[in-house]
Amino acid sequence: MHLALLLLASVLSLGTLALDNGLMRTPPMGWLAWERFRCDIDCDQDPKNCISENLFTDMADRLSQDGWKDLGYVYVNIDDCWSSKERDKKGRLQPDPKRFPGGIPKLARYMHDRGLKLGIYGDMGTLTCGGYPGTPLDKIDIDAKTFAEWEVDMLKFDGCYSNEVEQQQGYPLMSKALNATGRPIAYSCSWPAYSGGLPPKVNYTQLGEICNLWRNYDDIQDSWDSVLNIIDWFFDNQDVIAPAAGPGRWNDPDMLIVGDFGLSLEQSRTQMALWAIMAAPLFMSNDLRTISAEARSILQNKIAIGINQDPLGFQGRRLVKEKSGIEVFWRQLSNDTSALVFFSRRTDMPYRYKTSLSKLSYPTGYYKIVDVFTQKGSSLKDSADFVVSVNPTGVVMWYVSAPAKLDPNQFHGGGKLKGPASRSDKHGIRRVLL
């Protein structure tokens, strides 16, 4: 599809209304417990890693002290297995008293005192996926009020142990119940993931009206195969799901697993790059206490984060799928800028891919290019062929400026951008001054 048509489709997509809470105008960022720590409740034998208030305060400390919060990673999200096996005498959910002795309000205050936000997990079925009390239809109002009283900032609402009819009623009812509390609580729906992710069973117009974000597909696992399956599903179905995304309403391909055990550094860059292209929520699920410097540098890459957080909120698309195993992805950004990702499915050796910006439907002109992961800059004419060397299962990611007349003295022949000729904008993207 021509670039102009892609832009038109993105603009038309903004007609869908978001949940009326004013939240998540850019994709949310933070940390989420599930993929890395699952349902580890053995605090006697594994006190540092069990689902407890200590785990979440540890991660809050790391977010606030290690530079994550300043980059936008502000949510600390509890997932399943936090609650007691029984509701209290008033019918309210309650945290496990041994693992959360201070209660959820204390944990919320801990987050808020550090400029962070607390997310919590619920399930609209009779039980959560881990077998804890769920939120059936008759409990939606009381649970929404409880979360608001606890000063929770986000709810992830899962769908285990529920049926299609209950989901059709329950997900919209929880949206209304959260709004009725008067507290702004971001709302993450798992509804489409339980309905196959695609129309006609999934109504993305409705989702955009009741949810801030939604899980479309399977849970991510700590493996390259899992990441690749998610990438394939999202971009194979981009014509259906991309128009649903925009400020306040996001498709969610699930957590970032960078810093865990299943991805190489190349694959870690690939996940970060394509989640940025997709305008995906950036919820890390890793151990921030022990994360490697290499993984941290990927997750804290200011240019990649700036691309992800672009205020236009357009979800990117796959433009090219070559027989060679190279794929090209594109995302329109504000101020007539854009991002490109060259991805290699190959597993043998680096592949030298030759193309031009004009072949990728860029208009006539000169462009400034910044490599997101090396931060090297260069200039490029739309019609000029170029070659990118893409490592196996890896990416080359570019931030592409608007076409303009270039002063060649602004660049060190393919080296880093000169300091006097560039600056960082509020999104951390280095822009060349004309």
Cα dihedral 366/8/397/26 (nearest 10): 120
Residue 27: which of 245, 211, 250, 312 has the closest Cα? 250
Q: Which residues are catalytic?
A: 158, 219
Going by DSSP bridges, is the β-strand pair 430-432/386-390 parallel, antiparallel, or unpaired?
unpaired
Residue with tokens 């009812």: 173
**3-class secondary structure per residue, 3-62:** HHHHHHHHHHHCCCCCCCCCCCCCCCEEEECHHHHCCCCCCCCCCCCCCCHHHHHHHHHH
Phi, psi of 348 (to 5 degrees): -100, -55
Cβ neighbours of residue 321 under 8 Å, at least 6 residues apart?
Answer: 327
3-state helix, strand, coil in the chain (%, to 5): 30, 20, 45
Distance (Å, whole) CA 398 – CA 234 = 21
* 337 and 369 Cβ atoms separated by less than 8 Å: no
The type of residue at 152 is V
In angstroms, the Cα distances linking 294 to 60, 65, 291, 297 are 21, 18, 8, 5
Other CB atoms within 10 Å distance of the CB of residue 191: 28
Other CB atoms within 10 Å distance of the CB of residue 361: 15
Q: What letter would DSSP give residue 389?
A: E
